[in-house]
A and B are shown apart, each in its own frame.
Chain A
Amino acid sequence: MVEEKPQIVLPGERLCVLEEFLSGKGTRVSADGVVFATVVGRVKFDRNKREVHVEVIKELDNITVGDIVLGEVRELQSKSAMIRILGKNGRLLKHQRVAALLAKPGSKESLGHYVSVGDVILAKVTSIISGLLNVSIWEPGLGVIQAICDNCGSTMTNVKKDKYNVYCPKCRKFDTRKMCAHHGNEKRLYSWLGLMT
């Protein structure tokens, strides 16, 4: 059972003592065992978990391991790529961040075989070490959501020809990508970018 208090609490406001509830999200424990709020938000007492947490009024851009992020490939080398993260879990971030994408474990092929500079990708956050992000696209459902032709910069479309799976209608180049199932799905991309009306 979760009990919600209607009042908004402020950072520093005393919520309970540790004997009553444990400290959850948006709270901390002082040296003398008092649980206090650290953010502006609504207090929730979770009686099952015996935990109190404060639901913050504005979510921060906090990225955690396991988040699905939307990113853009900015720099590409054979074993790694620099990704600019634009959004997470279906919405844009307030502030973009940088992450590293490493080549497929055990693969001999260069990363350029799977992604290209400019591509918009869906990736999963695999680790965060003191603020440095690593992402992966080596799972089903992840990969390039919109491929960009590295020759002319136009959007590429799905195709099936020999080993190729993307095609540039403008300069007629065939190429390969590690695509996700939604490749070329405009609606999905617009909703990520907050462009739906």
Chain B
Amino acid sequence: MTQTTKPKLIDENGRRLDGRGPTDLRSLKIEVGILEKSDGSAYVELGKTKVYAAVYGPKEAHPKHLAIPDRAILNCRYHMTSFSTDERKILGMTRREVELSKVIREALESVVFLEEFPRSAIDVFVEVVQADGGTRTAGLTAASLALADAGIPMRELIAAVAVGKVDGTIILDPSDIEDKYGEADMPVGMTPSSNTIVLLQLNGKMTKDEFKQGLELAQAGIQKIYQAQREAIRRKYGASTTEV
């Protein structure tokens, strides 16, 4: 069922398999506050990649011995549904999911004012419903929105996107197939106004110049995603003029 020979990822006109140019994002849809029972939640759809995030807390840390007297602990679980990938994913947490949980958590820890909640815990859950490339960045984008939606104070929102290298070209927001047959995949998470990097990974080979070019492309993409984050929050909370 899966293709074994590498398809041509960029045609003569510079178009990608799904018709995008190298610097185009896929269609982006963001919603906040969609899961009723969580304290904060968000949904991010980037092309076929679909991710939910929910936040619980701040609440008492348990077990008690894990509590830190001068700040909150932040827990994060990145998880994929069994039907999110082409081949059915086995149930339970894979090593990949454990690693991504860690990098997403560390990105979030760098913006949340954890010291405001001593001995507390904040739980962040990222659930990938469909994976078509860029799930950790979509997950981080959603998780930071869910934290904001929960009313948790943070230095800044986080927006994230991946860049890749396929057929020698640096591209924005690689899809699954571009990731699989491309030469490199680099997820980047940033704070959009102060321009700091909070998540950065690279899988593949890039020259120094390509690496720089990739970061700049990611930065441009992140600004677009940040605008969509803003709009989503304003759509949800901007309409009514009085507090409920």
Contact = CB atoms under 8 A, between A and B. Distances in A.
A binds B: yes
Contacts of A8: 233-234, 237-238
B155 interface: yes
Interface string A128-159: 00111000000000000000000000000000
Interface string A97-113: 11000000000000000
Instruction: State which size class the interface on B falls in.
Output: 35 or more
Contact of B151 (A12, A42, A56): A56
Given A39-B153, A130-B69, A131-B118, A12 B59 contact: no
A131 B154 contact: no
Contact of B157 (A10, A55, A95): A10
A160 interface: no
B149 A11 contact: no
Interface of A: 6-8, 10-14, 26, 28, 38-42, 55-61, 94-98, 130-132
Interface in B78-107: none
Interface string B115-149: 00111100000000000000000000000000011
Given A38-B154, A39-B151, A39-B153, 20 more contacts: A10-B157, A10-B230, A12-B191, A12-B194, A40-B149, A41-B151, A42-B243, A58-B151, A59-B151, A60-B150, A95-B58, A95-B60, A96-B60, A98-B60, A130-B69, A130-B70, A130-B118, A130-B119, A131-B119, A132-B119
B244 to A, nearest CB: 9
A26 B116 CA distance: 12
B231 to A, nearest CB: 10
14 contacts: A8-B234, A10-B148, A10-B157, A10-B229, A11-B155, A11-B157, A12-B156, A12-B194, A13-B193, A55-B243, A57-B149, A58-B150, A130-B119, A131-B118
